[in-house]
Amino acid sequence: MSDIAHFIDGRRVPGRSGRYGDIFNPATGAVVAQVPLASRDKVREAVESARHAQPAWAAVNPQRRARVLLKFLELVGREHESLAKLLSSEHGKTIADARGDIQRGLEVVEFSAGAPYLLKGAYTDAAGPGIDLYSMRQPLGVAAGVTPFNFPAMIPMWMFAPAIACGDAFILKPSEHDPGVPLRLAELMMEAGLPAGVLNVVNGDREAVDALLDDADVKAIAFVGSSQIAEYVYARACASGKRAQCFGAAKNHMVVMPDADMDHAVDALIGAGYGSAGERCMAISVAVPVGKEAAQALLARLVPRVESLKIGLPADASADFGPLVTRTHLDRVKNYVALGVEEGAKLLVDGRGFRMQGYEDGFFMGGCLFDDVTPQMRIYREEIFGPVLSVLRARDYEEALALVSAHEYGNGAAIFTRDGGAARDFATRAQAGMIGVNVPIPTPLAYYTFGGWKRSAFGDLNQHGEDAFRFYTKTKTVTSRWPGGVREGASFVMPTMS
């Protein structure tokens, strides 16, 4: 059994709190490593390292900072396969899915290498008599990020790449369930030329998060996780005077119109609902067929597809998805399925009894499919985060649209239709932050921003895209007049620039 370390001031540092968490192999259920859970003192050690390293890093010009990110891209490309295998071994997602996890993170690194352009300010010559105006974007100092278990490569890179490109130092608190890849990414950043202390990784639980939230030297914090914790982090960060962008739960709907290509819609639902065992904040967890005929046509195709899903080992290239991340999470998802049955939903496909031969202690579960779900049921109102798809039928388009817009979560929503007018109306009126038109998981590319609405997000700025550079910098505006300009004498009224 191996032990995981923290990464502080450019090197791996053992934990000294005496508290540890178990890391499992999800396929076997066995404990394969222990991760130290940082004390407040260990978090403070990381903050001090970041605080001392940040001014010199901020003084490096943006083009040279970008070169470090470009070198990092090269190094991750070299180790892409080994990183995917490590990620898969701790998380349980298939290796193919793990490769995508890494790639989507690298796309934000590529975008962040555009820092020389993205950090440009504005300049106005002769804004008034002899007066020039200009603005500049300056780093905040030390920023921190708390990331979830479901994307242990992508979301850390979504956070630390733009922050570091902006000239900040960064402290990453990854999930204690799968910290191996974040630690390796930090080492590769060092190999790429990042100075020691600019990127630190501390493993831990709530004690570590609270320490980051309460530390006056941490100027901003980013978070991805459940809405309950996102709201807590946001409130405590704001109370401490920090910037915060906190992203929470989702209940993403896919509206299937009567004119939709049903085969296309079913392909989309199978991939978006069950890929990565449903452990994705942008997974489709609710299908909304419009009209009785659409519902019948959809379910006639959907049921056999869910029944034939192939659940396998993460290394099995033919597997549709692998095990869930922990036994605790597996039990939670199964309990939601039992709750749905109690609430009166019709369980058309029950995957709870699935066992992988030879891996009976693994955290495996087959796909589940509910019909006749209603808006009052908890399985509809709450995020399940597993391979469970609910079908909630709508009489007409307006009822389907109202379901999407009334839900307390508003991460993403999709519509499948051949009608351009319906698609345009849905994109305009649906109350969700990201919309897909014949696209089931509408996750924007790196040069647009990622973020939901309502209780799916807390804060004013989204992840990646230009919003990331706004979040990790502060704007300074300079009004200047040089000797030799027009002298107007003392003025005791508001200047009007007239």
Task: Report domain extents, the chain.
Answer: 2-248+456-478, 252-437
The confidence score (pLDDT) of residue 496 equals 61
pLDDT at 164 over 60: yes
The confidence score (pLDDT) of residue 487 equals 64
Residue of 333, 278, 281, 345 lying closest to 306 (CA atoms) = 278
Residue of 167, 168, 172 lying closest to 185 (CA atoms) = 172
Give strand pairing partners of 21.
Answer: 35
Annotated active-site residue 281? The verdict is yes
Query: What average pLDDT does range 244-267 have in this prediction?
Result: 98
Q: What pLDDT band is residue 488 in, cutting at 50, 70 and 90?
A: low
Between the alpha carbon of residue 435 and those of residues 133, 253, 268, the distances in Å are 39, 10, 14
What's the CA angle centered on 98, arms 92 and 104, to 5 degrees?
Answer: 140
Query: Over the chain, what is the mean pLDDT?
Result: 96
Between the alpha carbon of residue 124 and those of residues 130, 133, 485, the distances in Å are 11, 5, 16
CB atoms within 10 A of CB 93: 31
Query: What average pLDDT does range 217-230 have in this prediction?
Result: 97
pLDDT at 497 over 70: no
**Do residues 148 and 225 lie in contact, with contact meaning Cβ atoms separated by under 8 Å?**
yes
- Rounded CA separation 496/486 (Å): 15
2-248+456-478 CATH fold: Aldehyde Dehydrogenase; Chain A, domain 1 (3.40.605)
The confidence score (pLDDT) of residue 130 equals 85
Q: What pLDDT band is residue 498 in, cutting at 50, 70 and 90?
A: low
Task: Identify the active-site residue in 166, 246, 281, 368.
Answer: 281
pLDDT at 1 over 80: no
Query: What average pLDDT does range 349-374 have in this prediction?
Result: 97
Between the alpha carbon of residue 498 and those of residues 128, 178, 293, 478, 484, the distances in Å are 8, 61, 68, 19, 19
The pTM assigned to this predicted structure is 0.95
The confidence score (pLDDT) of residue 345 equals 98
Q: How far is C-alpha 430 from the geometric centre of its chain's CA atoms?
A: 22
pLDDT above 70 coverage of the chain, percent: 98
Instruction: At 268, give phi and psi (nearest 5°).
Output: -65, -45
402-434 burial string, b = 16+ CB within 10 Å, else e? bbbbebebbbbbbbbbeeeebbeebeeebebbb
CATH number of the 252-437 domain = 3.40.309.10
Query: What average pLDDT does range 305-317 have in this prediction?
Result: 97
